[in-house]
Structure 1
Amino acid sequence: MKAAVLTNFGDALAYQDVPAPILGTGEILVDVYAAPVLSYANEVFSGARRYLLPMPVIPGCGAIGKVREVGPDSTHLTVGDWVFCDPTVRSRDNTLSPDITLQGWSARGKGGQSLQRYFRDGAFAEQIRVPTECAVPIGEIEESHASLWCAISTLLVPYGGLLRINLQAGETLVVSGATGNFGSAAIATALAMGARSVIAVGRSNAVLEDLRKRFGQRLVPVQLSGNEEADTEAMKKAVAWPIDAVFDILPPSVETKVARAAIMSVRPYGRAVLMGGVGMLGGEDLALPYPWIMRNNVSIHGQWMYEPSAVSGIVRLVRAGLLELENFQVTEFPLRDVNDAIQHAASHGGPFRLTTLTMKGKAGH
C-alpha cells in the first residue's frame, strides 16, 4: 500500500510503498478515505513540539474510512461500515489509570510509549490498523463527504473538555484561545450543547468579529488588552450574569498570564478545564491563588483529549443537526502531495479551516 513516512524529525515525508498492516486479535483494519492534517503538523514533524514519535513512522492523527476486516471480538461492525478511527489508544490492563498514546502522533509517559511501539503507525496511509474500540461507526455518508467528517477530529478535543466540566444547557462559558482552530470548535460545540452564552476571548478583533457574525447574539467577543486584571474584568462585564465555566485551549507560545486572566473570571463554585499547551515550552507557572480557589470552591480540571464515549456523543450532535460540519472550509490534497498539505495547513489555520489528505477517488485543491 501507499503511505507517507517520516524518517527523521526535520525531513520531508516520503510517499512510498510500505507493507499493509496485518490484523490481530482485538483490532480492526480500515481503508482510509480521508485524514486530517493538523495546523501544527509542521511543528510536530520538525521536532519543534518535542513530541515523542518513533522513527520511521507513518504519522497522522485520526481518519474517516470503511471497515476492511474485523477481528473475532467484533460483534457489531461489518465490512464496509463507515467509521471514525479514533487516534486515542488506551491500554486495556488498567481501566483506573490507562496509559494513552495518540496513534501516529504522540505518547504520554513510559506506558504510553510502550503502547506506541505497537500502535505506532497513523492515518497517512491507504490502510490503518486500530484497536476494535477505536473504530467508531458514524453511519452512512457519501464518499465525497469523508473529508468533511474529518472535522470531528477537531470538534472532539473541546467536546472532551466540555464534558469534563459538565457544561450544562443554559450556562455561560468563557473560551480562552477562541480565535484558533480548536477554540472556535469549542464555541460551536458549546452552543450545540445548549450554552446560554459563549464569551470568546482572543487578540484578533477581525477574527472575533467574524465569530460574532457566524454565531449571533449568543457569542460575545472580548479582545485581550494584555493587562491581566483589566482582561479579567472585561470578561466578567461581557454579560450581565455570572460566568459558570472556563475552557482554555491556548497554544504553547502564549504567556501563562493570559490563561490566568480567563480562569479568574469564573464565578464562585465555577469550573475551569485546561486543554492547551501553555508552559510546554518553558516559562512561568500558572500560579493561581490558593485562597481564591479554596474560598470560592472553584474546580480546576486538566483534560487530555476525551473519554471514549465522546466520539459517539459528537456523532449524535452532528446527526441531530445541532453541530454543523458545514461550518468548516475543507481543502483536500491527494496522499502523494502530503508535504504540500502540511504547508497549506500551517498557513491556513484558524477558525473552521480544515486540510485533509484523501486516499480514495480524486482530490483537488
Structure 2
Amino acid sequence: MKAALLKAFGSDLSVETLPDPVPGTGETVVDVVATGVLPYSNEVFSGERQYLLDLPAVPGTGAVGQVHAVGPDATRLAVGDWVYCDPTLRSRDGAPTPDIALHGLIARGDGGLRLQRHYRQGGFAERMLIPTENAVPLGPLDPADAGRWCALGVLLVPYGGLLAAELRAGETLLVSGATGHFGSAAVAVALAMGAGCVVAPGRNERVLADLVRRFGPRVRTVRITGDEDTDRALMRRAAPGPIDCVIDLLPPAAGAAPVRTAAMTVREFGRVVLMGGVGMAGDDDLRLPYPWLMRNSITVRGQWMYPPSAGARLVGLVRSGLLDLTEFDVTEFDLDDVNDAVAHAATAGGPFEQTVVRP
C-alpha cells in the first residue's frame, strides 16, 4: 500500500510503499477514503510542538473509510461497512486509567508509546489498522461525502468536553475560543445538544458575525477588549441569564488571562471544562482564586478527548439532522500531494474549514 511517512522531525513527508496491515484478534483493517489534516500538523511534523511521536511513522489522525478485513472476534462489522476511525487509542487493561495515544499524532507516556508503536500507521495511508472498537459505524455513505464526514474528528473534541460538563438542554454555555477551529465546532455541537444560548467571545468580528449568520439568535457574540474585568462584564451582559457552563478551547499562544476571564463568568455551582493549551508553550499557567472557587462551589474539570461511546453518539446527532456537516467547507488533496495538504491546513484552519487527504 501507499502511505506518507514521517522519518524525522523537520523533514517533508515521503510517499512510499509499505506492507499491508493484517488484523489480529480485536483489530480491523480499513480502506481509507478520506482523512482530515489538523491545522497545526506542520507544527507537529516540524518538532515545534515536541509531541511524543515515535518515528518513523505514518501520521494522520482519524479517517473515514470502508472495512477491508476484521479479526476473528468481530461479530457485527462486515467488509465494506463505512466507518469512522476514532483516533483515540486506549489500552484494554488498566480500565480505570487506560494508557492513551492519538493515532498518528501523540502518545501519553510510556504506555501510550507502546500503543503507538503497534498502531504505527495513521490515516495518511491507503489502509490502516485500528482496534475494532475504534471503528465507528456510519451507515450508508456516498463516497463523495467522505471528506465532509472527516469533520467528526473536529466535532468530537468539544463534544467530549460538553459531555464531561453534563451540558443540559436549555442551559447557557460560554465557549472560550469560539472563533477558532475547535471552538467554533463547540458552538455547533452545543446547539445540537440543545443549549438554550451560547455566548461566543472573540476579537475577530467577521467570524463572530458568521456564527450568528449560521446559527441565529441562540448565539450571543462578544467583542473582547483584553481587559479582564471589562471582558468578564461584557460576557455576563451578553448572556440571557446566569452562565451555567464554560468550556475553554483556546490554543497555547492565547495565554492564561483570557481563559481566566471566561472561566470566572460562570454562576454559583457552575461548571468549567478545560480542553485548551494554556501552559503548554512554557508560559504562565492558569491561576483561579481559591476563595472564588470555594465560596461559589465551582466545579473545574480537565478533559482530554472524549469517552469511547462519544463517536456513535455524535454520529446519531448528525444522522438525526441536529448537527449539519454541510457547514464545513472541504478542500481535498491526493496522497501524493500530502505536503501541500499540510501547508494548506496551516493557512486555512479557521472555523468550519476542513483540509482532507484522499488516499
User: The TM-score by the shorter chain falls in which range?
Assistant: over 0.9
Give the Cα separation in 1 of the matches to 2:44 and 2:311.
24
CA deviation after TM superposition for structure 1 residue 24, in Å: 1.4
**Equivalent-residue separation in structure 2 for 1:215 and 1:157 (angstroms):** 20
Deviation string for 1:114-134 (max 9, x for gaps)? 221112221100000000100
Q: Is the 8 A contact 2:175 2:248 kept in 1?
A: yes
Where does residue 345 of structure 1 map in the other structure? Answer: 345
1:305-344 pair list within 5 angstroms: 305-344=305-344
**Residue correspondence of structure 1 range 28-67 to structure 2 within 5 A:** 28-67=28-67
Residue matched to 2:189: 189
Percent sequence identity is 57
Find the aligned partners of 2:106 and 2:224 in 1 and give their Cα distance: 32
Q: Which residue in the other structure is 2:134 paired with?
A: 134
- The one-letter amino acid paired with 1:320 is S
Alignment of 1:115-264 (within 5 A): 115-264=115-264
| 1:95 matched to 2:95 | yes
Is 1:278 matched with 2:270? no
Q: Does 1:109 align with 2:109?
A: yes
Q: CA deviation at 1:25?
A: 1.3
Distance 1:29 1:244 in 2: 43
SS of 1:267 mapped into structure 2: strand
Residue 240 of structure 1: how far off its partner (Å)? 3.0
Measured against aligned partners, the alpha-carbon deviations of 1:228-261 in whole angstroms (never above 9, x if no partner) come to: 1111111111123000000100001011011000
C-alpha contact 2:35 2:150 (8 A) present in aligned 1? yes
| 233-242 or 328-337, which deviates more | 233-242
Name 2:297's counterpart in structure 1.
297
Q: Are residue 11 (structure 1) and residue 32 (structure 2) matched?
A: no
Indicate the SS of the match to 1:268: strand
Identify unmatched segments of 5+ residues in structure 2: none
- How far 1:164 sits from its partner (Å)? 0.2
Shift of 1:103: 1.1
User: What is the distance in 2 between the residues matched to 1:115 and 1:329?
Assistant: 33
Q: Which runs of at least 4 in structure 1 moved beyond 2 Å after TM superposition?
A: none
Extract unaligned runs of 5+ from structure 1. Answer: 360-365
Aligned positions, number: 359
The superposition leaves residues 294-337 of structure 1 with CA deviations (integer Å, 9 ceiling, x where unpaired) of: 11111001111100100001000000000000000000001110
Q: Which residue of structure 2 aligns with residue 362 of structure 1?
A: none
SS of the equivalent of 2:267 reads coil
TM-score by length of 1: 0.97
Question: 2:189 is aligned with what amino acid?
Answer: T
**Contact in 1 for aligned 2:24/2:72 (Cα 8 Å):** no
Q: 1:189 Cα shift?
A: 0.2
TM-score normalised by the chain length of structure 2: 0.99
- Calculate the aligned-residue CA RMSD, in Å: 0.7
**Matching residue of 1:20:** 20
Paired AA for residue 164 in structure 2: R
Deviations 1:104-146 (A, max 9, x none): 1101122112221112221100000000100111101001111
